[in-house]
Amino acid sequence: GVGHVFWKDVSQIESGDQPQADAYNQCTTFLRDFFSSSKRHVADATHTAQTLTSTVKDKFLDSLDRPYDLNQGSKERTGLLNDMIQNGDSIEHPGSLESFMPVAPGRWRVIYAPHMTTMSGLAGGEFSVQYDLNDDGTIVSHAKCNFPFFKGYLSVSGTYDSVNNEVCRVDFDEAWLKASSNENDEPYPK
């Protein structure tokens, strides 16, 4: 059967609160399996979810230590990511507005960016990064910083657009900082 589970925020999922974490995992596994299938018919959904072989995207997601936050770079993960890009385990024409605008708007968490984990490791800290992409092509990014010399948020804003069918671009034109050692603090609205 289908049920409903509600949670206040992603911290309940990250900390493993029950029954929210189990319901979230069951839901995301089903949806990942269903939408990575070549058959997307509701009548086939249960069968598809049970019999689907792993895609490169599934293998990449399974390789993550932290599914909701930034993961350390590795040769395996980078290889799987490159395989996804090269072999099209993605939307068709990922750089075109027509392809990415139906899925782009919303809040996105960065889960893999080796350049970020390398930089943060060199500085003895870590980042947690989210992007808010809006329907009008504007973007706001907040990088929560936890470093010995700075705790708080590094935020930037700008626009995103298409370059061609394979490449999109982000142009940041404003940046600001918010110092805060409060673990539960949020970035201030722009």
For residue 190, pLDDT over 60 is answered with no
pTM: 0.66
Q: What is the mean pLDDT of the chain?
A: 80
For residue 188, pLDDT over 80 is answered with no
How does pLDDT run across 107-165, given as a tens digit for each residue? 999 999 999 999 999 999 999 999 999 999 999 999 999 999 999 999 999 999 999 99
When pLDDT is cut at 50, 70 and 90, the band that residue 33 belongs to is low
When pLDDT is cut at 50, 70 and 90, the band that residue 28 belongs to is low
How does pLDDT run across 62-91, given as a tens digit for each residue? 999 998 899 999 999 999 988 887 776 677
Query: What secondary structure does DSSP assign to the chain, as a single string?
Result: -------SSHHHHHTT-TTHHHHHHHHHHHHHHHHTSS---GGGHHHHHHHPPPPHHHHHHHT-S-TTS-B---HHHHHHHHHHHHHT-S-SSTTSHHHHTTT-SEEEE--B-HHHHHHHHHTT-EEEEEEEE-TTSEEEEEEEEE-SS-EEEEEEEEEEEESSSS-EEEEEEEEEEEE---TT--PPP-
Q: What is the pLDDT of residue 88?
A: 60
